[in-house]
A = this chain, B = another copy of it.
Amino acid sequence: MPTPTALPLPSVRFTGGLWHDRIQLIREVTLPRQWQALNDAIPDAPPSRAVRNLRIAAGCEDGEHYGLCFQDSDLAKWTEAASYRIALAPNEAMARALDEVVALYVAAQDDDGYLHTYTQLRAPDQRWTNLRDLHELYCAGHLIEAAVAHHEATGSRDLLEVGIKFADLLVRTFGYGEGQLRAYPGHPEVELALVRLAAATGDGRYLDLAEFFVRTRGSEEPKYFAEEAERRGEAEPPIYVHGDDQAYWQAHRPPPDQAEPRGHAVRAMYLYAAMADLARERGDAGLAASCRRLWDDMVARHLYIIGGVGSDGPGGEKFSAPYDLPDDRSYAETCAAIGLVFWARRMLDLELDARYTEVLERALYNNVLAGISLDGCHYFYVNPLATQPRETHRRYDCRMVKTQRVPWFGCACCPPNVARLLGSLGQYAVSRTERGLALHLFAALSIKWEGWTLRLETDYPWSGSVEIKVESAPTGVSELAWRASGPTQGASWTLNGAALDATPTQGYLRVAREWQTGDVLAAELPLPVQRMRAHPSLTAAAGRVALQRGPLVYAVEEIDHGPELSSLGVTRSAALEATVPADAPWAGVVTIGGEAVREAAGSELYHADKLAERETTTLRAVPYAWWGNRGEGEMRIWIRDYES
């Protein structure tokens, strides 16, 4: 039976600094505002109608279903996020909103457990006839995750019972038995939910069903989605599947045999995360090896420097060819980076190795954080690594790229996904190990769990000073593990002032001892400004560098440098300095300064045997996730790497 490695949500609390402030913002601004959005109460934003759809299905209101086939999931993700919020800090308004939603879910659920307002209101007789496109199981998954979160937050079983009833319907509907569907969802998600429900209920049937969905996927010819489409009388696959055929849904071959991340990026991340869950739960070394192989290929050939994936946006939000990571039409969907964090966290459960943590951190501090504005109520769905508004507005293949964050989307999967990830971030900061605790993220936080009271003090990523204070520890020998790779590499750790004699294992320092109240681990992480360069096949980065400090990737913006950023860069000898300048755009946010260089524009488009004149200017690079919070303008991460 699944044994969660995350600590219960209230056991880990951010006490200050970046994540603390962002989580506060999610609580106080984002979640109430999203509730308004879901209730269609934000002027000038596309309507959601997610609550209204549920009210209609519940019989509380007349009307027709509005929106996409996965509109329900926006509300479910919000329900999950709001549950985290009240788990950490009770709040009456939020609790009332949750009660209202739970009551609607209860009322909207069909007698046999089915709940998908799109199908219920539009074509109730067509359940499970289009698993490829219609997201019934995806919505089921999000509802079940919300149900578990709500139960854990409130103790109430009301929504959990809805989730269980739906899951039981799934157990009856899908399987190898007679009359059952040997099928799998077009968009993985229910697998993750079923693993979680199995852990919450102790009912192994849900884990079996999760495994069934993973194992049957793409495993039989003809492929289920092709068979199903033929039954519906469909001639052509959707146009975005272009050339990818079943790979769009990761159904081109059985998941254990997949070696390269393919297809729709969010679906891929959710599937691979589920594979990691199963590899661990079943102790399946073969499946674990498949996960590692997919992971390594993603990191070596498919990962944006911001920790994002999916670079073929117009082609259906999917993975492109290896090294095809363009910056101006990058997709790097916020949800895909969130999915990557889910997967990374589960790989860490499989094996404590900092290579997963590094990517988790990269995704979190850059791609995920860029997905939400500093005011907490505007969002990016697509996260470009470079924008030039005049091109972005004109080009058809950039039509999904927004140059400024918006209050909501017609397809609003990302906003509540950010809320639920950041709302449960403590579960990504720390995990239970066989012999103690592992600390993954450096942030100011306090941990109280089974005899442990730990306090981390740091304002990482802004500076590198870290202290881990043991305020209490379980009796006997136990192990504390913490990251010593990536930005946290090269630090000299002390224990109670004396040099610590330990070498990292798979990027983690692991110290087993009888921990005492008053023990202090301390280090100064160096956090230099780094010039990152890319593999020569990554064309968008050729002859360019990206600036990085700690986990933060930096970008330059038009507001600081004027327009035409394409030639802006730094020479190799230029001194680059991490600094909070007097006129810093945001208090406490470290920028990178120094001398920048750009080419002067002549009037000619092409010129022969002549070098462009260069101008010098002052560099002010800002953390990528902060870009676009000061009006519309150009932005770019990969800047010119002038040799001299």
Residues of B within 8 A of A242 (CB): 396, 399
Q: Please measure, in the bound complex, the distance between the C-alpha atom of A303 and the C-alpha atom of B604, giving whole angstroms.
A: 11
- For the complex, is A531 an interface residue (Cβ under 8 Å from B)? yes
Interface contact B397-A535, CB-CB below 8 Å: no
- For the complex, is A542 an interface residue (Cβ under 8 Å from B)? yes
Residues of B within 8 A of A644 (CB): 643-644
Interface contact B601-A536, CB-CB below 8 Å: yes
Interface contact B393-A243, CB-CB below 8 Å: yes
Chain B: minimal CB distance from A156 (Å): 46
Residues of B within 8 A of A394 (CB): 243-244, 312, 315, 320-321, 324
Residues of B within 8 A of A582 (CB): none
Interface contact A601-B542, CB-CB below 8 Å: no
Interface contact A566-B544, CB-CB below 8 Å: no
Interface contact A396-B603, CB-CB below 8 Å: no
- For the complex, is A599 an interface residue (Cβ under 8 Å from B)? yes
Residues of B within 8 A of A641 (CB): 543
Identify which of residues 301-356 in chain A touch chain B, using a CB-to-CB cut-off of 8 Å.
301, 303, 305, 312, 314-316, 320-324, 328-329
Identify which of residues 507-548 in chain A touch chain B, using a CB-to-CB cut-off of 8 Å.
528, 530-539, 542-544, 546, 548
Interface contact B603-A395, CB-CB below 8 Å: no
Q: Please measure, in the bound complex, the distance between the C-alpha atom of A548 and the C-alpha atom of B564, giving whole angstroms.
A: 26
Task: Annotate A609-644 by CB proximity to B: 1 below 8 A, 0 otherwise.
Answer: 111100000000000000000000000000011111
Q: Please measure, in the bound complex, the distance between the C-alpha atom of A605 and the C-alpha atom of B640, giving whole angstroms.
A: 18
Interface contact B391-A320, CB-CB below 8 Å: yes
Interface contact B535-A601, CB-CB below 8 Å: yes
Q: Which of A243, A544, A564, A609 counts the most B-chain CB atoms under 10 A from its CB?
A: A609
Interface contact B397-A321, CB-CB below 8 Å: no
Identify which of residues 117-138 in chain A touch chain B, using a CB-to-CB cut-off of 8 Å.
none
Residues of B within 8 A of A314 (CB): 314, 396-397
- Whose C-beta in chain B lies nearest to the C-beta of A563? B537
- Whose C-beta in chain B lies nearest to the C-beta of A548? B608
Q: Please measure, in the bound complex, the distance between the C-alpha atom of A575 and the C-alpha atom of B43, giving whole angstroms.
A: 64
Residues of B within 8 A of A606 (CB): 305, 532-535, 546
- For the complex, is A567 an interface residue (Cβ under 8 Å from B)? yes
Q: Please measure, in the bound complex, the distance between the C-alpha atom of A537 and the C-alpha atom of B598, giving whole angstroms.
A: 11
- Whose C-beta in chain B lies nearest to the C-beta of A546? B606
- Whose C-beta in chain B lies nearest to the C-beta of A608? B530
- For the complex, is A299 an interface residue (Cβ under 8 Å from B)? yes
A640-B542 contact, Cβ under 8 Å, with A532-B608, A536-B612 = yes
**A contact patch SS:** loop
Chain B: minimal CB distance from A313 (Å): 8
Q: Please measure, in the bound complex, the distance between the C-alpha atom of A548 and the C-alpha atom of B607, giving whole angstroms.
A: 11
Interface contact B566-A312, CB-CB below 8 Å: no
- Whose C-beta in chain B lies nearest to the C-beta of A390? B321
Identify which of residues 582-610 in chain A touch chain B, using a CB-to-CB cut-off of 8 Å.
598-610
- For the complex, is A240 an interface residue (Cβ under 8 Å from B)? yes
Q: Please measure, in the bound complex, the distance between the C-alpha atom of A606 and the C-alpha atom of B151, giving whole angstroms.
A: 43
Interface contact B642-A643, CB-CB below 8 Å: yes
- Whose C-beta in chain B lies nearest to the C-beta of A601? B536
Identify which of residues 240-274 in chain A touch chain B, using a CB-to-CB cut-off of 8 Å.
240, 242-244
Q: Please measure, in the bound complex, the distance between the C-alpha atom of A212 and the C-alpha atom of B361, giving whole angstroms.
A: 64
Q: Please measure, in the bound complex, the distance between the C-alpha atom of A320 and the C-alpha atom of B397, giving whole angstroms.
A: 11
- For the complex, is A300 an interface residue (Cβ under 8 Å from B)? yes
Interface contact B320-A395, CB-CB below 8 Å: yes
Task: Annotate A535-573 by CB proximity to B: 1 below 8 A, 0 otherwise.
Answer: 111110011101010000000000000001011000000
Q: Please measure, in the bound complex, the distance between the C-alpha atom of A316 and the C-alpha atom of B395, giving whole angstroms.
A: 10
Q: Please measure, in the bound complex, the distance between the C-alpha atom of A610 and the C-alpha atom of B532, giving whole angstroms.
A: 8
Q: Please measure, in the bound complex, the distance between the C-alpha atom of A253 and the C-alpha atom of B498, giving whole angstroms.
A: 78
Interface contact B390-A535, CB-CB below 8 Å: no
Interface contact A530-B609, CB-CB below 8 Å: yes
Residues of B within 8 A of A312 (CB): 394-397
Q: Which of A244, A324, A395, A610 counts the most B-chain CB atoms under 10 A from its CB?
A: A395
Chain B: minimal CB distance from A605 (Å): 5
Q: Please measure, in the bound complex, the distance between the C-alpha atom of A632 and the C-alpha atom of B320, giving whole angstroms.
A: 20
User: Which single member of B315, B323, B386, B542 contacts A395 (CB below 8 Å)?
Assistant: B315
Interface contact B605-A538, CB-CB below 8 Å: yes
Given contacts A323-B605, A532-B607, A536-B567, 17 further A-B contacts (CB under 8 A): A243-B393, A315-B394, A321-B388, A324-B391, A328-B539, A528-B609, A530-B608, A531-B608, A533-B606, A533-B610, A533-B612, A534-B605, A535-B606, A536-B566, A538-B566, A538-B605, A542-B567
- Which 5 residue pairs spanning A and B have beta carbons closest together? A315-B396, A543-B543, A536-B567, A643-B643, A536-B599
